[in-house]
Amino acid sequence: MPTLHETLQRLPANVRHALIDELQGLNGHQQDELPPLPDEALLVALKSAINGVTERKRRRVVITGIGAVTPVGNTATATWAALVAGQSGITAVTQFDATPYDSHVAGEIKDFNPESRIARKEVRRMARCSQISVVAAHEAVEDAGLDFKMEDPTRMGVILGTGVGGQDMFIDMIKSSVTTGKMRSRPVDVINGLPNMAAFHVSNVFGFRGPLNTVVTACAAGTQAIGVGTEEIRRGAADVMLVGGTEAMISEMFFATFEAMRAVTTQNDDPPRASRPFDASRDGFVIGEGTAIFVLESLEHALARGARIYAEVLGWGESADAYHIAAPDPEAKGAALCMHNALADAGISPDEVCYINAHAAGTPLGDAHETKGIKDVFGPRAYEIPISSTKSMVGHLFGGAGAVEALACVYAVHTDTIHPTINYRTPDPECDLDYVPNVARHTQVNVALSNSFGLGGQNACLIVGKYRP
């Protein structure tokens, strides 16, 4: 018969790690293993660890504020109104001369004035992805009605996702070296170009001194950041988290790169029609930029201050394809596993999902493989679930994509409205589900699933639902 110590070694990982945390410091123990203590001491610590794990799982997380800067609107409400109206934000590229490249279209932010929220001196020090993040964060905080005089800044944190961060700072330095023969840099240009600087600037503006983190998982980063922020609240490390994703990578470097990969669309004649997820004529994605930021709170914290609740974060999941640096797994095993993991974390069945916001970037392989993954998870019911692609209107925002798509899910749950997939004209036999073509749909949405499948086979899924007391 195994000893108690041997039995405890076989506990589920989350309980075993909680138990080890309880025992840290006993007899100088600082290792990731159970120390050789008497059975009585181990049992007392085990009871405390199980109570802690159970309590963390009970801690519910809700969304109380939203901010956004996107190709279709410079606020969250403007973005949502444009999505419901089926308004495309994709235009001819204006940020550089795109004529040497095959793709001439992009989802650019329009009429953005960072000085509406940020001092001019600070604007010059920030990469574009940081600027849009700070502006969106201001909107989210105001939307949530947070009163910082009543809050403990050590219980408030920031987690943002991005793919490349402030690459514009580095590109400007490279251009200076070409024109002058010497690379020139202001004192903090390199630092402000780092991926974690957007999260720093948001944290610094509001004085949050709790958890601060940056998720860099390409196209899955925004979704994963929301999930990680949820965990910080679940485990009791914070009461309030600002979370989301951001990206501003419309540049010659990325156009050249994705052109070489044959990943971007070359349908330039009618820019608003260029992004065509699930349509048989799709030929690649449209590069875009943007951000969405959310205020997450523990349910107890939100109720105590009388906050309006948009939706509840029910669960999230992550997985890896372990297949290819860029190509999706044709069996969609990683995508399906990620959806299963999110459902398990939310404690719901596939039958409870009312809407899916698809990753759906408009690539021939990606959209077909995601369709297969949805069928593998939901079976025959896959044909009954409304599915739409936000990228049909804003393009692919990379690290910001999952956050803006989470915005679509939160508003879908809050308003019982599903935005359409625009530019859907020619059905593809491999993509034969209900993609809410071209016109928004008003229907009850109790639970929404958002898919984000990133380069490097890094996947993240988020599930939000109506708040039920």
Residue 57 lies in a domain: no
Q: Phi, psi at residue 35, to the nearest 5°? A: -80, 155
Instruction: Kindly tell me the burial class for residue 97, based on how many C-beta atoms sit within 10 Å of its own C-beta (0-12, 13-18, 19 or more).
Output: exposed
**94/20 same-domain check:** no
Catalytic-labelled residue, pool 129, 138, 201, 219: 219
CA distance 204 to 191: 15
Per-residue pLDDT of the chain (469 residues; tens, 9 = 90+): 566 556 656 666 666 666 666 555 444 444 555 556 566 655 666 666 665 555 555 689 999 999 999 999 999 999 999 999 999 999 999 999 999 999 999 999 999 999 999 999 999 889 999 999 999 999 999 999 999 989 999 999 999 999 999 888 777 777 777 777 776 777 777 888 899 999 999 999 999 999 999 999 999 999 999 999 999 999 999 999 999 999 999 999 999 999 999 999 999 999 999 999 999 999 999 999 999 999 999 999 999 999 999 999 999 999 999 999 999 899 999 999 999 999 999 999 999 999 999 999 999 999 999 999 999 999 999 999 999 999 999 999 999 999 999 999 999 999 999 999 999 999 999 999 999 999 999 999 999 999 999 999 999 999 999 999 9
**91/31 same-domain check:** no
Look up 338 and say whether it is catalytic: no
Number of structural domains (the chain) is 2
Residue 249 lies in a domain: yes
243 neighbors 67 (Cβ within 8 angstroms): no
**107/83 same-domain check:** yes
- The domain of 23 spans 4-52
Look up 359 and say whether it is catalytic: yes
Residue 58 lies in a domain: no
Look up 431 and say whether it is catalytic: no
Token pair belonging to 280:
């048989």
**12/67 same-domain check:** no
**215/326 same-domain check:** yes
Say how many Å lie between the first and final Cα of the chain, rounded: 46
**40/170 same-domain check:** no
**416/319 same-domain check:** yes
**319/444 same-domain check:** yes
**192/281 same-domain check:** yes
pTM, entire model: 0.87
Concatenated DSSP letters for 298-331?
A: EHHHHHHTT----EEEEEEEEEE--S-SSSPPTT
**69/35 same-domain check:** no
Cα-Cα-Cα-Cα dihedral sign, residues 260, 265, 266, 271: negative
| Percent helix, percent strand, percent coil in the chain, to nearest 5 | 45, 20, 40
DSSP 362: S
Catalytic-labelled residue, pool 359, 369, 414, 419: 359
CA distance 402 to 21: 33
Catalytic-labelled residue, pool 104, 138, 396, 414: 396
- Residue 225, phi-psi category: left (phi > 0), alpha (psi -120 to 50), beta (remainder): alpha
